[in-house]
Structure 1
């Protein structure tokens, strides 16, 4: 939608940038393929299911927070803090794992990580108090950080260059679809059979997906580009203005989101006084809009990642303000939740494409760093949210998180964006 007379020149610059980025994503051990065959899309699909399961495992306490807290004999704040534990462990795991893998086959690493996730879910299922819950969430964080941290980088190596943005959108859509299906269905299962049954089902699914990864993915060793420079040179190459701005936006916005979203069930119970099943339906609405946002943002961020992320930040800010001001009205709360889902659903893929556009020559490392920061912000958000809820209540939580989301928007406007946006 450019109206400038320099349209043709700008389009040419963008196309060159896309080709440069795509070539950087590919493993240089073979010539770039011209098309993506069905078996490769199946592999991307299995990878998507893996990200779906790790994020569902992490986020399920949000949907079953009240009964889970009662079953463990702890407060809602302590139960919500389990997300902090998982996020902190994932924040360490995601950036460290790519540097430790060497030439190990990535599909075996991913399959092993799914087995670790299954152990974490099983321990959550049998936990009788806070101590075992902590252990289970630490284990779960290792599996989650490994899978989520590697998913986008692996997806780019499974498809033809022209399909890279779509493959990343699919891989990251597991995050959004965890809200569409994972958390709402887990909430329904928790309401019907108990929250422990929901975590047991996740453990069984994690083992099945681990086996599918071994079957469907090709052998994926270390990318050839990673051998061309030293680790010190690679670390220095990530310290770019566009990367730093993007990470600051992610920290502020994800912290704001999870500080509020971790306690969305208590908020909907307190403000519009919704029933458990009504909340589950509203979370499903949130997830449906989140999935839409994922693919819309993926298409937009492929060309203009900075503008896309800034629009998403504005959407989250508005949603939190509406909940704070008009959340006692069911219709207003429902509308705010839908817009919130649309905006946050696009954030994972939008910010991921911001990162890979800013550092196209270091995809595996920048993805690990990004996911580490993202999950660290999840941990911080859950922790901050718990402090505010316990100390001040739900409405002050919404006001504070809206202010934090607005701050992320300001940082994104002032800071440096990736090159592809600047060529527009």
Structure 2
């Protein structure tokens, strides 16, 4: 390579990183779509809000299985081809959901979405070290994982905004078009990506032992507690705002946009601190969530301030957990286990929230979500002190 080739090579590396980040944003946004559209989906498909919440449960459960299954069964496949194929599947699944005539077709589409989510996220999270020089790995990884975090806090308000003008199906169409458009970008920017050498061989007992180290188990447990608590409550935040706070469509959209903006701020504000001390950063963020959820129940007006605090907390949680995981190691398969835990927690949280909503009330889910986040803080504070190198 000549000196004149270096700038274009560097640009190509960062274009690849950016395209993968857009990919992680797209898959996680697709997973979150039903949250802001739940009321409209339920009414159009003729089901209860709790049943409509299965559109969140299904992809989460499938992604939880797909992440480790694909990481194990595709150990010898080019990661570039896998990422392109999974993005194509996501595009088809979103368009299928947009056209769903009933809840059965919607759930089938969401199953396909789950396969794409689990595989793409698991493979993408570890690509930073393969796309840029060693000195830039931290920055590249932050950008790629930032796609997950930004999607988690912006996907819902963006979908709600689009649906307020053209209906809930338009949000799925937009996500499907974005996924299919991204196919060409991934194909153009990603180099061939052979599977990592450490993952391509047989799964030895020593490898399995390193994947299931004490600190890694701690990260998985904290992921389960925090994410399930979040989604038990957040999946039903729109019905809460409408039924308890009396907010109309415009105010609901504004509230979710404020939540999203706060989440992005929390994501970037906590990133540098989490890189140095993920445990303490995680605890602070989850405390914010645990305070915000019950605060929603104590106000008689649309609780914008509580949603902002909630967004600040949750916006940084994903980055803190991911940086904690990276510090403890585990490679692609360790990342796949984290993705599995994250997504099964989304599914179980949404499912539990639906059952609580149908059996008790919408406000009750806020208390349930707060309780789980409090348990997460206690576990991180007690078990985390002795079980992690990131303390």
Structure-1-length-normalised TM-score: 0.86
Q: Which residues of 2 match residues 84-95 of structure 1 at below 5 A? A: 84-95=57-68
- Which of 347, 372, 388 pairs up with 2:317? 347
Q: Distance in 2 between matches of 1:149 and 1:280?
A: 31
Q: Distance in 2 between matches of 1:57 and 1:226?
A: 28
- Matched residue SS, 2:124: helix
Contact 2:215 2:389 in 1 (8 A): no
What is the CA distance between 1:204 and its match in structure 2?
A: 1.3
Q: Match for residue 339 of structure 2? A: 371
Pick which of 260-269 and 210-219 moved more: 210-219
Q: Match for residue 390 of structure 1? A: 358
Confirm whether residue 218 of structure 1 aligns to residue 191 of structure 2: yes
Q: Deviations over 1:137-159 (max 9, x none)?
A: 10110011111122211133212
Confirm whether residue 38 of structure 1 aligns to residue 38 of structure 2: no
Q: Deviations over 1:389-420 (max 9, x none)?
A: 11111222111211111001101111136754
Q: Match for residue 421 of structure 1? A: 390
- Which of 113, 129, 132 pairs up with 2:102? 129
Confirm whether residue 185 of structure 1 aligns to residue 185 of structure 2: no
- Matched residue SS, 2:75: coil
What is the CA distance between 1:228 and its match in structure 2?
A: 7.0
Contact 2:327 2:390 in 1 (8 A): no
Q: Distance in 2 between matches of 1:340 and 1:162?
A: 34
Confirm whether residue 321 of structure 1 aligns to residue 290 of structure 2: no
What is the CA distance between 1:347 and its match in structure 2?
A: 1.3
- Which of 99, 109, 128 pairs up with 1:155? 128
C-alpha RMSD over aligned residues: 1.8
Q: Distance in 1 between matches of 2:154 and 2:282?
A: 24
What is the CA distance between 1:200 and its match in structure 2?
A: 1.2
Q: Distance in 2 between matches of 1:238 and 1:376?
A: 18
Q: Match for residue 246 of structure 2? A: 273
Question: What residue ranges of structure 1 are gaps of 5+ in the alignment?
Answer: 1-32
- Matched residue SS, 1:102: coil
Pick which of 154-163 and 234-243 moved more: 154-163
Q: Distance in 2 between matches of 1:323 and 1:344?
A: 15
What is the CA distance between 1:41 and its match in structure 2?
A: 1.7
Contact 1:243 1:355 in 2 (8 A): yes
- Matched residue SS, 2:250: helix
Question: What residue ranges of structure 2 are gaps of 5+ in the alignment?
Answer: 1-5
- Matched residue SS, 2:384: coil
Contact 2:60 2:343 in 1 (8 A): yes
Q: Distance in 2 between matches of 1:72 and 1:118?
A: 22
Q: Deviations over 1:304-350 (max 9, x none)?
A: 11111111111110111211222x223xx111111111111111111
What is the CA distance between 1:261 and its match in structure 2?
A: 0.5
User: How many pairs were matched up?
Assistant: 383
Confirm whether residue 335 of structure 1 aligns to residue 305 of structure 2: yes
Q: Distance in 1 between matches of 2:212 and 2:366?
A: 33
Q: Distance in 1 between matches of 2:143 and 2:314?
A: 16
Pick which of 74-83 and 227-236 moved more: 227-236
What is the CA distance between 1:217 and its match in structure 2?
A: 1.0
- Matched residue SS, 1:104: coil
Q: Deviations over 1:219-267 (max 9, x none)?
A: 1111123357744321121121111111111101100000000001011
What is the CA distance between 1:110 and its match in structure 2?
A: 0.5
Q: Match for residue 25 of structure 1? A: none
Instruction: Return closer, same or farther for 1:179/1:240 CA change in 2, 3 Å cut-off.
Output: closer
Q: Match for residue 240 of structure 1? A: 213
Q: Distance in 1 between matches of 2:79 and 2:327?
A: 23
Q: Distance in 2 between matches of 1:325 and 1:151?
A: 41
Q: Distance in 1 between matches of 2:110 and 2:126?
A: 25
Q: Match for residue 3 of structure 2? A: none
Q: Match for residue 7 of structure 1? A: none
Q: Distance in 2 between matches of 1:349 and 1:152?
A: 11
Q: Distance in 2 between matches of 1:147 and 1:74?
A: 31
- Matched residue SS, 1:219: coil
